[in-house]
Chain A
Amino acid sequence: MKQVFRTINQVGGLWLLLGLTAVLILPWYKVAPPELVSGGALSDAALFQALAGRAWLWPPVLGILALAGLRVARGERWQADDLVLPIAGTSFLFFLFQAFAIGLRGPAIPALGEAFPAAMLGQTGLGWGGFALGAALVGIIADSLAARGFCRGERFGANAVIFVVALLLLFVFFPIIRLASAALFTPEGVFQPGVFIERALAPDLWNIDCLTGGSRCGVVINTLILGITSATLSTALGLALALLVARTGFRFKGALRAISILPIITPPFVVGVAIIVLFGRTGVVTGWLDMLFGIPPTRWIYGLPGIVLAQVLAFAPITFLVLLGTVEAINPTLEEASKTLGAKPFATFRTITWPLLRPGLAAAFLLAFIESLADFGNPIVLGGGYDVLSIRIFFAVVGARYDLGNAAVLSIILLTMTLGAFWLQTQWLGRKSYVTVTGKSDAGLAAQLPTPLKRTAYMVVIPWVLFTLGVYLIVMVGGFVNDIGRWDLTPTFRHLNTAFSFEIGERGLQLFGSAWNSLQTTLLVSAIAAPLTTAIGILTAYLISRQSFVGKQAFEFGTMLSFAIPGTVVGVSYVAAFNIPPVDITGTMAILVICFMFRNMPVGMRAGIAALSQIDKSMEEASQTLGANGFTTLRTIVLPLIRPAVFTSMVYAFVTAMTAVSAVIFLVSARHNMATAYIMGRVENGEFALAIAYSAVLMVIMIISIVLIQFLVGKRQLGRRAELQSVTAPTAAE
């Protein structure tokens, strides 16, 4: 293995070889383009396509050949040659330019058509050759920058920085740009700000009738009302939980923490379905209420109340964790001081505790608000006639009237709202410092909650606990009884059978169930996405905490931003960007994996940054002075020491890939369907039991996988570090 790498390096490096393969062997286009010469070009590779008349391919082809020439002329350290950077740079620019300027239906600029008549035929999206050449040129640029001292001359570091930036640009920023241009331009490329403004100001977006007694509000107002209601209730519930746990003799702390993990591994829709089963017109609870109190069944659950109920169930654990941190960080001596000054418990709470809680409350509120805006699963199941932005966007793309322009405008409005909240949140978090300034180390007993508040907290929390139990009971049972909707509780495997029947006969294992296809895709995509997401997340963490390069802050902010973009917006932006050449990858499995990678990387990144900050940098430097390059150092020194972060990232990436819906719903195809999309189809058809059964299966798979990942990543060899640090900690010189 090592030998192979060494040989490759001697030949001129991976990137040069890849580049040559790209232009000489691999098919340049995704779909072979129309033939220009009789008999066709010799092959689909770029060199032959250029020879056959696609002359605009010459610059990248010649660029790579020139670089190969340089390698021959200059020897092994050819990357340091002054010509490498200009050649690779210009080739790359020409490569990008031709890819974007000549589309499926011909050149975007008329002059190009005159210069290259063949361009009038257009070109399809890039294929293996095109992508490989792009990667090769980027890699050569990184290598040559490293040879000039970029990233302390570390080739791996330089490549990592440049590639991560390039990938972020391609898969986070480029789609957003395309989205914006879809909103501002007609499909023919005509600038039309008028249409944008008209669409953005349409009355069915901003109508506020419902506030003034009318029947319906605009969709933006609906979204805001939902977000504010949901965030307020979630924050209140989270606060009640946090106060109970931290400020009373509450004994089920562990159980609460366990419950708070549930929403993360709960597939979408299933909570909505359970709520319908409980409170729908024919629901169980509705039936009881009718029987016991004569309250007539209604459809009240469909619409705002149902969505809010489902969202609060999902978000309360998040706000709880945020607020628990805040409550625990409050220095008890402040409260004690207040008491010794004669304040009654309630006055102390009002004048001391509450003000200190406010920043945490704001953070929790904004977090829940952002989540609510981005939520897609609950509104689509429980929405009834209550329209919110994410749903409207979905139907603008997937519905009968495909209107990408309108979807783009709505997405921009949604994005503006989330980014606004995100910005506010960073502002708040930036100022929260006075809460934690003295830390928890101070002695002193936290003040107990005043009795009236305690009662209120219990009154809020107990219904929530019952409700949660009810919902998850339905989820556990619903798939395995005859008809949960009608409360027919005869045990049966028929739903499971519909989804996952199989036979082991003479022709081996045969899968008949209707869900196998989506389950396989989901598992495969998640299994591919989890390590890749972790890789890019941890790599980014490594770059941020260990490399210094220009624009690092912008880089860091950009990665966090990708987290704040609602899934629906990501989905639409991917449709806008990757449905057409040059990067035409919709309908592939790759686009699903890529979408997960860039949506979920910030978690691994944050875990990685936290873990790396605990590790003495000089260990990596020692490894480098001993001759290990950046990659070997990362593999042999850094990764073993940050295993917990790797674990966190893997689990998160895997689980979210299995349960995500808002972005992938736009990206699935008949060939590559995902479990969540399949479940959504069942819910739309009213096949609740099947949906629940499938969800239960997914949850079991996730729990097993988490255990498995833990086993694979391992926790061996940890814990020694703490000891070592106590030994080598500078024993205060002098």
Chain B
Amino acid sequence: MSETAIEFTDVEKRYGDVRAVDAISFSIRKGELVTFLGPSGCGKTTSLRLIAGLELPTAGTVRIAGENVSTRAASERNVGMVFQSYALFPHMNVIDNVAYGPTIRGGAKKAAIERGREILTLLGLDGLEKRLPSELSGGQQQRVAVARAIVQQPDVLLFDEPLSNVDAKLRRRVREEIRDLQRRFNLTAVYVTHDQEEALAVSDRIVVMSQGKIAQIGTPQELYDRPSSRFVADFIGDANLIEGAVSQNAFTVEGLSLPLPQPAPDGPATISVRPERIALEKGDGVSKIRTATYLGSRYEYIVDTPFGTVLVSAPISLAPLDRGDTVKLGIAPGGFTVVEHA
């Protein structure tokens, strides 16, 4: 049932010697919200623009709704895009902005305006039709931008860092709105952000990018629980990276031996353990609490262990640990993943 909306096959985009996007392949299903996540300059915006047709790939193919659109201009694709600056046309009022697409695509002006009004109503923007963009609040401008982008029922709706112009306090609300809208209209959406928390909160799936390449694709949970590389583990959430070795299907490091979920050959390896997957038990262990921080909803401890310092996040308990306490570390099977293995 899950039809493919967008498919990238070995897509590459170069600017001179810079490979902004380096042979990436992935596909996005209809009705899905996928996030491109990664550090600055990793090629997120470029990938998004490749979908929109605002850039054309230097190699590889881009398919939208099954059709190869690799050399097709933006105006010949059916995509909607919400720009970081909203890019509302300052010389047109709200309704003209929203009706712009249907009008220039050759529809009757009247029908276009009618359609625009419907969308504005759905987005709770009635009464603002005649205002100029400069007479709207930032939030209203963004909703107008969204209305303009979805009025033609695009194959895919693209967002480039839609929250970067939004007040920090409002971000949570706006991102919920976007998610809600996407579900309500069953839109296929691609969302670019460099904020991992935002990505985890809104996405069906996340594409983590690094230096023009895809580091990992997966649901938020998969990425969080089973990062496939050091980079992903580190980029998403907090991670303790512990270097040790695999022997006899167990990961061992001084004072610790963890059975592997799947058998693996012997050799040096690194695992990633999330801070909340480590249990601390007060007692005569070899590890020692260096700092203990009370964060209201939980405690955070930094613990000196024989294999380095680790970060532990623990629920509020009746008997909190203190600086200097010696503790024993426990990691549940499945509470860690091997991210590097030679």
- A618 vs B104: C-alpha distance in the bound complex, in angstroms? 18
Q: Using known A-B contacts A149-B70, A621-B74, A637-B89, determine if residue A728 contacts B56 with beta carbons closer than 8 Å.
A: no
Do A6 and B134 touch (CB < 8 A)?
no
Interface residues of B in 73-113 (CB under 8 A from A): 73-81, 83-91, 100-101, 104-106
Nearest CB of chain A from residue B233's CB, rounded to whole Å? 23
- A728 vs B100: C-alpha distance in the bound complex, in angstroms? 20
Q: Quick one: which of B71, B72, B105, B168 contacts A627, CB cutoff 8 A? A: B105
Interface residues of A in 226-275 (CB under 8 A from B): none
Q: What residues of B have a CB within 8 angstroms of the CB of A619 in the complex?
A: 87-90
Q: Closest B-chain residue to A627, C-beta based?
A: B105
Scoring A2, A629, A724, A730 by chain B CB atoms within 10 A of each residue's CB, the highest score goes to A724
A530 contacts the other chain (Cβ, under 8 Å)?
Answer: no
Q: Closest B-chain residue to A643, C-beta based?
A: B91
Do A153 and B56 touch (CB < 8 A)?
yes
A21 contacts the other chain (Cβ, under 8 Å)?
Answer: no
Do A622 and B81 touch (CB < 8 A)?
yes
A490 contacts the other chain (Cβ, under 8 Å)?
Answer: no
- A728 vs B52: C-alpha distance in the bound complex, in angstroms? 22
Do A730 and B164 touch (CB < 8 A)?
yes
Do B56 and A641 touch (CB < 8 A)?
no
Do A616 and B141 touch (CB < 8 A)?
no
Do A147 and B85 touch (CB < 8 A)?
no
Q: What residues of B have a CB within 8 angstroms of the CB of A38 in the complex?
A: none
Q: Which of A336-344, A592-600, A715-723 contacts B (4 or more CB under 8 A)?
A: A715-723
B292 contacts the other chain (Cβ, under 8 Å)?
Answer: no
- A721 vs B77: C-alpha distance in the bound complex, in angstroms? 29
- A628 vs B107: C-alpha distance in the bound complex, in angstroms? 13
Do B134 and A727 touch (CB < 8 A)?
yes
Do A152 and B138 touch (CB < 8 A)?
no
Nearest CB of chain B from residue A567's CB, rounded to whole Å? 38
Q: What residues of B have a CB within 8 angstroms of the CB of A627 in the complex?
A: 75, 78, 101, 104-105, 152
Q: Quick one: which of B77, B100, B138 contacts A731, CB cutoff 8 A? A: B138
B148 contacts the other chain (Cβ, under 8 Å)?
Answer: yes
Q: Using known A-B contacts A619-B87, A720-B91, A724-B90, determine if residue A626 contacts B104 with beta carbons closer than 8 Å.
A: yes
Q: What residues of B have a CB within 8 angstroms of the CB of A626 in the complex?
A: 80, 100-101, 104-105, 148-149, 152
Do B73 and A624 touch (CB < 8 A)?
yes
Q: Using known A-B contacts A6-B106, A717-B91, determine if residue A153 contacts B71 with beta carbons closer than 8 Å.
A: yes
Nearest CB of chain B from residue A722's CB, rounded to whole Å? 9
Do A625 and B52 touch (CB < 8 A)?
yes
Interface residues of A in 49-86 (CB under 8 A from B): 80
A141 contacts the other chain (Cβ, under 8 Å)?
Answer: no
Nearest CB of chain A from residue B141's CB, rounded to whole Å? 7
B243 contacts the other chain (Cβ, under 8 Å)?
Answer: no
- A640 vs B91: C-alpha distance in the bound complex, in angstroms? 8
Nearest CB of chain B from residue A61's CB, rounded to whole Å? 30
- A423 vs B164: C-alpha distance in the bound complex, in angstroms? 45
Q: What residues of B have a CB within 8 angstroms of the CB of A148 in the complex?
A: 71
Do B79 and A641 touch (CB < 8 A)?
no
Q: What residues of A have a CB within 8 angstroms of the CB of B54 in the complex?
A: 152, 621, 624-625
Nearest CB of chain B from residue A589's CB, rounded to whole Å? 36
A547 contacts the other chain (Cβ, under 8 Å)?
Answer: no
Q: Quick one: which of B55, B73, B87 contacts A618, CB cutoff 8 A? A: B87
A646 contacts the other chain (Cβ, under 8 Å)?
Answer: no
Q: What residues of B have a CB within 8 angstroms of the CB of A192 in the complex?
A: none
Q: Closest A-chain residue to B164, C-beta based?
A: A733
- A285 vs B291: C-alpha distance in the bound complex, in angstroms? 98
Q: Using known A-B contacts A146-B73, A152-B73, A153-B56, determine if residue A618 contacts B85 with beta carbons closer than 8 Å.
A: yes
Q: Closest A-chain residue to B106, C-beta based?
A: A2
Q: What residues of B have a CB within 8 angstroms of the CB of A637 in the complex?
A: 89
Do A622 and B56 touch (CB < 8 A)?
no
A387 contacts the other chain (Cβ, under 8 Å)?
Answer: no
Do A728 and B73 touch (CB < 8 A)?
no
Nearest CB of chain B from residue A447's CB, rounded to whole Å? 41
Interface size on B, residues (CB 8 A): 46
Q: Quick one: which of A621, A625, A730 contacts B165, CB cutoff 8 A? A: A730
Interface string of A1-32 (1 = CB under 8 A from B): 01100100000000000000000000000000
Do A153 and B87 touch (CB < 8 A)?
no
- A619 vs B86: C-alpha distance in the bound complex, in angstroms? 8
Do A728 and B86 touch (CB < 8 A)?
yes
Nearest CB of chain B from residue A386's CB, rounded to whole Å? 54
Q: Closest A-chain residue to B142, C-beta based?
A: A728
Q: What residues of B have a CB within 8 angstroms of the CB of A621 in the complex?
A: 52, 54, 74, 81, 83, 87
- A395 vs B128: C-alpha distance in the bound complex, in angstroms? 69
Q: What residues of A have a CB within 8 angstroms of the CB of B134 in the complex?
A: 720-721, 723-724, 727
Q: What residues of B have a CB within 8 angstroms of the CB of A728 in the complex?
A: 85-86, 88, 133, 138, 141, 165
Nearest CB of chain A from residue B172's CB, rounded to whole Å? 15
Nearest CB of chain B from residue A354's CB, rounded to whole Å? 44
Q: What residues of A have a CB within 8 angstroms of the CB of B38 in the complex?
A: none
B266 contacts the other chain (Cβ, under 8 Å)?
Answer: no
B118 contacts the other chain (Cβ, under 8 Å)?
Answer: no
Do A618 and B141 touch (CB < 8 A)?
no
A495 contacts the other chain (Cβ, under 8 Å)?
Answer: no
- A182 vs B311: C-alpha distance in the bound complex, in angstroms? 83
- A80 vs B72: C-alpha distance in the bound complex, in angstroms? 10
Q: What residues of A have a CB within 8 angstroms of the CB of B133 in the complex?
A: 724, 727-728
Q: Closest A-chain residue to B57, C-beta based?
A: A149
Q: Quick one: which of B73, B78, B88, B104 contacts A155, CB cutoff 8 A? A: B73
B177 contacts the other chain (Cβ, under 8 Å)?
Answer: no
Q: Closest B-chain residue to A151, C-beta based?
A: B73
Q: What residues of B have a CB within 8 angstroms of the CB of A3 in the complex?
A: 106
Do B85 and A730 touch (CB < 8 A)?
yes
Q: What residues of B have a CB within 8 angstroms of the CB of A717 in the complex?
A: 91
- A146 vs B70: C-alpha distance in the bound complex, in angstroms? 12
Do A154 and B73 touch (CB < 8 A)?
yes
Do B104 and A731 touch (CB < 8 A)?
no
- A339 vs B5: C-alpha distance in the bound complex, in angstroms? 71
- A629 vs B79: C-alpha distance in the bound complex, in angstroms? 14
B65 contacts the other chain (Cβ, under 8 Å)?
Answer: no
Do A153 and B168 touch (CB < 8 A)?
no
Q: Closest B-chain residue to A731, C-beta based?
A: B165
Q: Using known A-B contacts A730-B165, A731-B167, determine if residue A154 contacts B71 with beta carbons closer than 8 Å.
A: no
Scoring B54, B132, B141 by chain A CB atoms within 10 A of each residue's CB, the highest score goes to B54
A632 contacts the other chain (Cβ, under 8 Å)?
Answer: yes
Q: Closest B-chain residue to A617, C-beta based?
A: B87
Do B101 and A618 touch (CB < 8 A)?
no
Q: What residues of B have a CB within 8 angstroms of the CB of A155 in the complex?
A: 73
Q: Quick one: which of A147, A618, A623, A723 contacts B71, CB cutoff 8 A? A: A147
Q: Closest A-chain residue to B15, C-beta based?
A: A548
Interface string of B117-150 (1 = CB under 8 A from A): 0000000000000001110101001000000110
A734 contacts the other chain (Cβ, under 8 Å)?
Answer: yes
Q: What residues of B have a CB within 8 angstroms of the CB of A616 in the complex?
A: 85, 87
Interface string of B59-76 (1 = CB under 8 A from A): 000000000001111111
Do B73 and A153 touch (CB < 8 A)?
yes
Nearest CB of chain A from residue B325's CB, rounded to whole Å? 36
Q: Quick one: which of A2, A152, A720, A730 contacts B90, CB cutoff 8 A? A: A720
Q: Closest A-chain residue to B73, C-beta based?
A: A153
Scoring A148, A622, A641 by chain B CB atoms within 10 A of each residue's CB, the highest score goes to A622
- A622 vs B134: C-alpha distance in the bound complex, in angstroms? 17
Interface residues of B in 160-209 (CB under 8 A from A): 164-168
Q: What residues of B have a CB within 8 angstroms of the CB of A579 in the complex?
A: none
Q: What would 11 more interface pairs be, CB under 8 Å, given A624-B54, A627-B75, A724-B90?
A: A148-B71, A152-B54, A154-B74, A618-B87, A624-B74, A625-B77, A626-B80, A626-B152, A627-B105, A721-B134, A723-B134
| Complex A-B: 8 CB contacts under 8 Å | A146-B73, A154-B74, A625-B80, A626-B148, A628-B75, A628-B100, A724-B133, A727-B136
A residues with a Cβ closer than 8 A to B are 2-3, 6, 80, 146-149, 152-155, 616, 618-619, 621-630, 632, 636-637, 640-641, 717, 720-721, 723-724, 727-728, 730-731, 733-734
The list of the 7 closest CB pairs from A to B, nearest first, reads A626-B101, A153-B73, A618-B87, A624-B74, A622-B87, A724-B134, A723-B134
